[in-house]
Chains A and B, each alone.
Chain A
């Protein structure tokens, strides 16, 4: 222990990756990958987060995103054994929580396997919270007219948004960007346009965002 400017200072050598370390995510990936390879998994050369292993002549696929893991096999027994292995390897800091039903939550998306032969991927709760957080609340009869002018290439001028409102605009465009990269790729065009306006948004851009939000509101159940 040392004293610096009258304050106690204790220097510690870090032995394990702590939250906040830039290398922490890569270290975890390397560790998890080497552990999976040690049990015979082969990694997909095109996707470094997908590992495969042939068990009982059927493929066991393991996909992971940092610490979220999704494992698939025809037989549930294989997944049971894999869950036991996960707990034995990483369960000493707390139990590895596993979900074994037709409904899964992974990467902020919901996977619904309840209908045989079909999977339904949605982000209803994310959209709902996004709509709830939005300062304007919509009703089913609301509509926002198209902000597109008659000439699409015309330059429109409109008063700028005040700084705080511009911040709200930026926040919700970022949320929409996350959404469009996940379960709602069909809003990518609108989001791509809005993303170019986050630095200096005006009232026209706000209308565009409103139109997008109304669209999400009307289709939030899908």
Chain B
């Protein structure tokens, strides 16, 4: 038993092979998942004065449909929230709105402001969520409300950040993607991270070792698009031994021990974070065989790089 959990003992310890009466818990059937029935159950929703979202989720399946033993209604459910009180006075069948309407001022909610009522007892899974096995003691209906709240919060606050390769990012971000890639190349060029090389100077082996430059585009929390030029080093693994790549790290135990000594001796502590650490180290320290790391830029990225420094490239 894990420390700190004062839970009940397993009422019927299941030991297959020892207990002939043991019947494994039946797997939930998801056959009814694809049913076209959508019961739009009335949903209670409460938030504070800045109500931004009202949810009405399609009902995918009920506990009775699932073919499993019904989940007992939770006796630990928190008390029902107050009824909806929107500014317009509407209280039932609200419209789901994830994006602000035209000229609507949208207040981004904090997690505390978004709260979906546990009255969503019959809504089990949203259309995008993977059904989870129900073989624990927690009522799945109550557990889903905070999941939705978190999901909505993430979508609005941009927590779900995703990286796109340049081609896809361009389609998504348009000119902002081009500008982000341009800025990244401009920085790298300014820091002398690479120089053009004549193809005729490369040996066939060098050409084989050449790796593609990948431009990744990310949308940051503040809405700006950031570009990041990455050398595709994973394919160079066969050429490089682990001794040449493995770097030491601080041991966790060492940090704990020294931090304890620091506290005991009341020392002054400073932490610092070095920006763009890797770019500050030169490849000259590498062995001769790896000095000539060659990278190739293709397609639209070439145009951007030429635009950055026409006289160099």
B280 touching A22, Cβ below 8 Å: no
Q: B218 an interface residue at 8 Å Cβ cutoff? A: no
Minimal beta-carbon separation of A153 from chain B (angstroms): 10
In the complex, whether B254 has a CB less than 8 A from a CB of chain A is yes
CA–CA, A52 to B270, complex, Å?
15
Interface size counted on chain A using CB atoms at 8 A: 118
Q: Is the CB of B281 within 8 A of A31?
A: yes
Q: In A150-202, which residues have CB < 8 Å from any B CB?
A: 150-151, 154-159, 161-162, 164-165, 168, 181-182, 186-187, 190
* Assembly CA distance A142 to B142 (angstroms): 12
- Residue B251 interfacial (CB < 8 Å): yes
Task: Decide if B250 touches A72 in the complex (CB within 8 Å).
Answer: no
Chain A-chain B contacts (Cβ-Cβ < 8 Å), number: 378
- Interfacial chain A residues near B267, Cβ < 8 Å: 72-74
Q: Are A146 and B248 in contact (CB under 8 A)?
A: no
B16 in the interface (beta carbon within 8 A): yes
Q: Is the pair B11, A104 in contact by a Cβ cutoff of 8 Å? A: no
B273 CB within 8 Å of chain A? yes
Residue contact A15 to B192, C-beta cutoff 8 Å: yes
Residues of A within 8 A of B213 (CB): 12
Q: Is the CB of B280 within 8 A of A161?
A: no
Interface residues of B in 212-234 (CB under 8 A from A): 213-214, 228-234
Within 8 A of A (CB), among B225-283: 228-234, 236-237, 240, 244-252, 254-256, 258-260, 262-283
Question: Please, which residues of chain A bring their CB within 8 A of the CB of B7?
Answer: 143-146, 211, 214
With A11-B296, A155-B16 as given contacts, are A141 and B192 in contact (CB-CB < 8 Å)? Answer: no
Residue contact A149 to B273, C-beta cutoff 8 Å: no
Report, nearest first, the 6 A-B pairs whose CB atoms are least far apart.
A94-B275, A67-B277, A119-B263, A143-B7, A49-B250, A27-B281
A-B contact pairs, 15 of them (CB 8 A): A8-B299, A10-B313, A11-B197, A11-B294, A14-B194, A16-B282, A16-B283, A70-B255, A73-B268, A98-B270, A98-B273, A135-B132, A142-B137, A148-B1, A158-B25
Q: Which residues of B pack against A, CB within 8 Å?
A: 1-11, 13-18, 24-27, 76, 78, 129-130, 132-133, 135-138, 140, 142-147, 150, 188, 191-199, 202, 210, 213-214, 228-234, 236-237, 240, 244-252, 254-256, 258-260, 262-283, 285-286, 290, 292-299, 302-303, 305-306, 313
